Structure 1
Amino acid sequence: MAMETRVLRPEEWDVWFDHLELAFGGVPEAPEERALYESLTETERSLGVWDGEACVGSAGAFSFRVSVPGGALVPAAGVTMVGVAPTHRRRGVLTSLMRRQLDDVRAGGEPLAVLTASEPAIYGRFGYGPAAYTLALHVDTARVRLQRPPGADGVRLRLVDPERALDACEAVYAELVPGRPGMTARQPGWERQALLDPPSQRGGRSPLKCVLAERDGKAVGYARYRVRPEWNLSVAEGVVEVQDLDALDPAAYAALWEYVFGIDLTSSVRATKRPVDDPLLHLVSDVRRSRPRTLDSMHVRLVDLGAALEARTYGAPVDVVFEVEDDFCPWNAGRWRLTGDAKGASCARTGDPAELALSVRELGSAYLGGVSLASLAGAGRVTELRPGALTEASRAFTSDLAPWLPHGF
């Protein structure tokens, strides 16, 4: 019997998700997390590959809006739930899913597709490039101190139930989104992801805690965290695990970090999914004892190259002709002239001589401004055909703030 690829029917969701759990190792999600993702699944954007009654492949997409340099929120398909059954690997299942999905994204008018990769090596062949990275820290708070910026004394900190503080936290988050590329505007229901706290998944940690930073009665920041108590020969060596920490100004930001650094009976703070240019790196007295480590986070695929490049602004004037290779989405291949600056941009097909040659994957990596075209050229992945074109384009694509994806999907 031939395998069938089709849009998921709502009544098939449990079978589809069971397949996904198997593809990711077979450990069941907590009931609370499973219920949340069932409510967030857009079944009309979810694909399944069926071999008889068995689901053997899956891919889905969320309808996101992603911040890009210049502050615009660009429609993007948040690619998710991708998995192939171990019995059906190397039979073209994943390729068929990526083909159908990108065709659907294009037909729906979204210029971008984005994803977080469980195995980064997989997605380059479909045109995705790593565009945002994340920073992980494990700070020895027994030895590392914070430098307080002016105004921190004027910040009021208040412990609040995470559920009751949700609206205030979301207001802070929404204000930050346009200012940093890579952040996603919350779609209805996604605010619940930050509150997931299944008791079965705590592993000895405390329930989720939330502290609000306030000034003049208004929330200007928040931190959500858990504490993992640990003892070594009767000496307290607990760990504060920071889930989220955001603030609207430096004083509130520092006050929140000072709070989590000073929690009693702890000697370290662990934070993952931080921006790679996190100001915390400049507040700590000893970066080495903060043990920073970077990992890839958001991968970007330009689905409509012209529309995507026109949707963002550029940090320096640019007028460059790209020769773009795109075997998987050939409608993007060919020569494109990008003209733009801090006010806007145009990108259209041209017959003019090419000045930079690269694949759509490199443009995806550079798109959010966190990966330089010059760096990619150093790896042999961008070729300069006109002297000066590489410097011009590389400067133009760079963002003041590093792109950052605060949460997974």
Structure 2
Amino acid sequence: MTVPAQNDDVTIEVPTPEDWESIYAMFSSGINIDGDPQSLEAERPLFEPGRSLVVRAGGRVVGTLGANTRQIAVPGAVVPAAHGCRGAVSATMRRQGILTRLMRKHFEDARALGEPITLCWASEGRIYHRFGYGLSVRRVGLNVNAREVTVPKGEEPGRIVEGTVADLRDALVKVYDQVYAERPGWSERTAAHWDYRLADTMAMRQGASALRVAVHEGDDGIDGYALWRVRSNWNANGPLGDVVVVEQVSTTPEAYRALWRFLLSVDLTRSASTWAVGVDEPLYYWVGEPRQLDAHLCDALWIRVVDVPKALAARRYAAPVDVVIQVTDEFLPENSGTWRLTGSPEGATCTPTSEPPDLWLDVRALGAVYMGGTSLSALVDAGLVKEVRHGTLPAASTAFRWHTSPYAFELF
């Protein structure tokens, strides 16, 4: 299918598999990197032509926006979601409405496929506010001074075992699948997603070692793993290596503690770093000096609700809620309306109503609270939520939260 753009020489099309190299090159240029052959081949299996859009001008690719078809964990459920990726427009084609047209088609396609939300990692947050995305999941980066931070040793059984990615892959998959559905912000992984996660290209290493794997063996078998690298560093006084934690996943608190204890004690290292843990990371409460974690807060997943009633009925709620909400969506007017939301930890319904609203929400607010990590009350001062009927905000705000904070660590 070809959609004419504003300029007669510019078209927006669904690409074919043969377009992958051009799309990869255009997107790499758009985010100011050169790209490389290893990454091109590692990412190829994740390319879904039918879920992608390509902009051409004079036969040349000048824009792109794609999606990965995956499910994602939300409070109390797992929902299908368009995982937006490779969104870029050539520098010479910007300010011509191309990205706006790409986004509108992206949302329409998600709705047609029954996906109530779309999500992305933002290169710059300012790009996505205007398209109705809300900042839903935040991440915390850590640069831990391993000399000053110690995870106390408990009585937990088990041992840490290292192995190769090939030998331990099945165990990694099993552990991840056991926990991901309970962690809002974590996405399902097919074999192709695991292939990419474990690809270990030079670009992924960023000057550190090859990918390493450590697993924790408890009484019932492997119940946790860590993917990590070492960035070697020395000075005149000796080693200053850094353990780069790619991801750490565990099904038990004992495995989580044991793996962190291991990562903070690797020989010839003095620090450990990770780019994304949750805002309620357990390390804060284990270590004696949390300031030595050198934590910094940043945005992670941005959520765009494209089907309000379906999205609100799909997730669960921390407390019983029965509220009438009015949602305004300027970019996607068919998404605006008034609905009665009735929900609990067990289930939810969301149906159109002519009743007067209790709360008004901008669609950005709905995206921000969808994963349970942001309160409706916090968004009142931001002007994205208004309490129309006095006294309804506290209960609704409580219901939209969740017992675990969402977080995300996997770029897509």
Report the TM-score, using the length of structure 1 for normalisation.
0.96
CA deviations over 1:294-324 (Å, ceiling 9, x no partner): 1111111111110110011111111111111
CA deviations over 1:355-408 (Å, ceiling 9, x no partner): 111111101110110011111113222111111211111000001111122301
Residue in structure 1 matching 2:132, options 121, 127, 131:
127
Residue in structure 2 matching 1:27, options 9, 34, 49:
34
Q: Where do residues 16-95 of structure 1 align in structure 2 (5 Å cutoff)?
A: 16-29=23-36, 31-70=37-76, 72-95=77-100
SS at match of 1:189: helix
CA deviations over 1:105-147 (Å, ceiling 9, x no partner): 1111111111111111111111111111111001111111112
- Residue 409 of structure 2 aligns with an amino acid whose one-letter code is P
C-alpha deviation, 1:100, in angstroms: 1.1
The residue that corresponds to 1:193 in the other structure is 196
The residue that corresponds to 1:147 in the other structure is 152
Q: How far apart are the structure 1 equivalents of 2:337 and 2:271?
A: 52
Residue in structure 1 matching 2:325, options 319, 322, 327:
322
Residue in structure 2 matching 1:405, options 398, 404, 408:
408
Report the TM-score, using the length of structure 2 for normalisation.
0.96
Q: How far apart are the structure 2 equivalents of 1:119 and 1:332?
A: 25
C-alpha deviation, 1:38, in angstroms: 1.1
- Is the 8 Å Cα contact of residues 32 and 196 (structure 1) preserved in structure 2? no
- Residue 222 of structure 1 aligns with an amino acid whose one-letter code is Y
Residue in structure 2 matching 1:158, options 156, 161, 167:
161
- Residue 402 of structure 1 aligns with an amino acid whose one-letter code is S
C-alpha deviation, 1:200, in angstroms: 6.0
Runs of 4+ with deviation above 6 angstroms: none
- Residue 285 of structure 1 aligns with an amino acid whose one-letter code is G
CA deviations over 1:219-277 (Å, ceiling 9, x no partner): 10011111112112132111111111111111111110010111111111111121221
Q: In the alignment, is residue 305 of structure 1 matched against residue 322 of structure 2?
A: no
CA deviations over 1:62-91 (Å, ceiling 9, x no partner): 101011111x21010001000000000000
Aligned pair count? 405
- Is the 8 Å Cα contact of residues 225 and 259 (structure 2) preserved in structure 1? yes
SS at match of 2:12: strand
- Of all paired residues, the percent bearing the same amino acid is 38
CA deviations over 1:138-166 (Å, ceiling 9, x no partner): 11111111123441xx1111110122211
C-alpha deviation, 1:97, in angstroms: 0.3
Query: Structure 1: any 5+ residue segments left out of the alignment?
Result: none
SS at match of 2:165: coil
Q: In the alignment, is residue 234 of structure 1 matched against residue 237 of structure 2?
A: yes
C-alpha deviation, 1:92, in angstroms: 0.4
- Is the 8 Å Cα contact of residues 127 and 361 (structure 1) preserved in structure 2? yes
Q: Where do residues 336-347 of structure 1 align in structure 2 (5 Å cutoff)?
A: 336-347=339-350
Q: In the alignment, is residue 202 of structure 1 matched against residue 208 of structure 2?
A: no
Residues 201 and 310 (structure 1 numbering): CA distance in 2 closer, same or farther, change over 3 Å?
Answer: closer
CA-based RMSD: 1.3
Q: How far apart are the structure 2 equivalents of 1:406 and 1:177?
A: 12
Residue in structure 1 matching 2:116, options 87, 111, 115:
111
Q: How far apart are the structure 1 equivalents of 2:207 and 2:322?
A: 56
SS at match of 1:165: helix
The residue that corresponds to 1:15 in the other structure is 22
- Residue 19 of structure 1 aligns with an amino acid whose one-letter code is M
Residues 388 and 149 (structure 1 numbering): CA distance in 2 closer, same or farther, change over 3 Å?
Answer: farther
- Residue 23 of structure 2 aligns with an amino acid whose one-letter code is W
Q: Where do residues 92-103 of structure 1 align in structure 2 (5 Å cutoff)?
A: 92-103=97-108
Q: How far apart are the structure 2 equivalents of 1:312 and 1:200?
A: 37
